[in-house]
């Protein structure tokens, strides 16, 4: 596969915009599902995330490494989170106004062509993701170009449906990390196209989580990325959202773990509840 386009700042940007505009989008169907489940014993909720692309000498994803004080500590994730009705609706209105330069561009124009109702929901979850990005890493909305939405992803373990948006970070900035984020990890897009970077992530589950229906071992495909002496493992929702993005943009199958490389680790008992201990 020719990956030289990943070194082409403008060429890849345009490719992403065009591909996302053509991709099917399921926002309305998933929001109807959430509404139907509202009064069930285990209701679902929605959450927006921003998949941030940044170009230096090549394109990278800028991912957060979650701090030890939150749920799913140590995991890599895209900035984003749960809905705040007041602020996210306010952000939605700002985006719909188109009065500010950063609220205009081809990503917005093409999303608008999906229809008024869909466009309104895209802007709501984009506003949600931009607010969370500011709170978590001080990434300003003025510093993000919206390239388009991605199909949703269901996070079964947390009864949450993720509504992703793709944004290009315009220029480098000085992050200020919240207590939720340990550091920002840049992962080159090229890393996802090399089979040797994939493995099976096998988690040994403690008894208290087995009792809640988590299988033991709990196993997932993952990407292993080494930077200097640090080895980072990307798995779960963000791993799947990124692979969905790459399949849409390149319209080609991606490598998968061959089963020969297995990474075994224990899952902490407070993985889903989090710990505020320093």
Looking at residue 175, its pLDDT comes to 96
In the chain, the domains with their CATH numbers are 4-193 (3.90.79.10)
**pLDDT tens across 41-87, in order?**
999 999 999 999 999 999 999 999 999 888 888 999 999 999 999 99
- The CA distance from 162 to 31, in Å, is 11
**pLDDT tens across 217-263, in order?**
999 999 999 887 789 999 999 999 999 999 999 998 899 888 889 99
**pLDDT tens across 134-160, in order?**
999 999 999 999 999 999 999 987 899
> Residues 111, 118, 245, 84: what is their CA dihedral angle, to the nearest 10 degrees?
110
Q: Is 60 exposed, middle or buried (0-12, 13-18, 19+ CB in 10 A)?
A: buried
End-to-end CA distance of the chain: 45
- Say how far residue 140 (Cα) sits from the centre of its chain: 17
Looking at residue 278, its pLDDT comes to 39
Q: To the nearest whole percent, how much of the chain has pLDDT over 90? A: 79
Answer yes or no: are the C-beta atoms of 9 and 145 closer than 8 Å.
no
- The CA distance from 145 to 151, in Å, is 19
């Amino acid at each position: 596969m020719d990956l030289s386009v990943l070194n082409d700042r403008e060429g890849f940007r345009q490719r992403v915009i065009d591909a996302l505009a053509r991709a099917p989008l399921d926002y309305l169907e998933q929001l109807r599902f959430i509404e139907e489940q509202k009064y069930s014993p285990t209701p679902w909720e929605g959450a927006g995330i921003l998949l941030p692309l940044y170009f230096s000498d090549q394109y990278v994803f800028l991912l957060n490494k979650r701090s030890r004080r939150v749920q799913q500590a140590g995991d890599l994730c895209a900035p984003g989170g749960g809905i705040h009705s007041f602020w996210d609706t306010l952000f939605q209105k700002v985006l719909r106004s188109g009065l500010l330069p950063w609220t205009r561009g081809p990503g917005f124009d093409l999303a608008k062509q999906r229809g008024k109702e869909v466009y309104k929901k895209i802007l709501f979850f984009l506003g949600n993701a931009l607010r969370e990005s500011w709170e978590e890493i001080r990434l300003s909305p003025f510093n993000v170009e919206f390239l388009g939405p991605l199909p949703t992803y269901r996070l079964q373990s947390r009864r949450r449906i993720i509504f992703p948006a793709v944004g290009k970070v315009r220029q480098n900035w000085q992050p200020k990390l919240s207590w939720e984020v340990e550091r920002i990890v840049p992962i080159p897009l090229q890393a996802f196209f090399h089979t040797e970077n994939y493995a099976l992530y096998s988690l040994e589950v403690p008894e208290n989580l087995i009792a809640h229906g988590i299988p033991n071992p709990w196993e997932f495909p993952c990407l292993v990325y080494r930077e200097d002496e640090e080895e980072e493992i990307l798995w779960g929702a963000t791993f799947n959202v990124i692979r969905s993005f790459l399949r849409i943009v390149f319209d080609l199958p991606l490598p998968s773990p061959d089963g020969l490389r297995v990474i075994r680790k224990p899952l902490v008992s407070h993985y889903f509840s989090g710990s505020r201990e320093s």
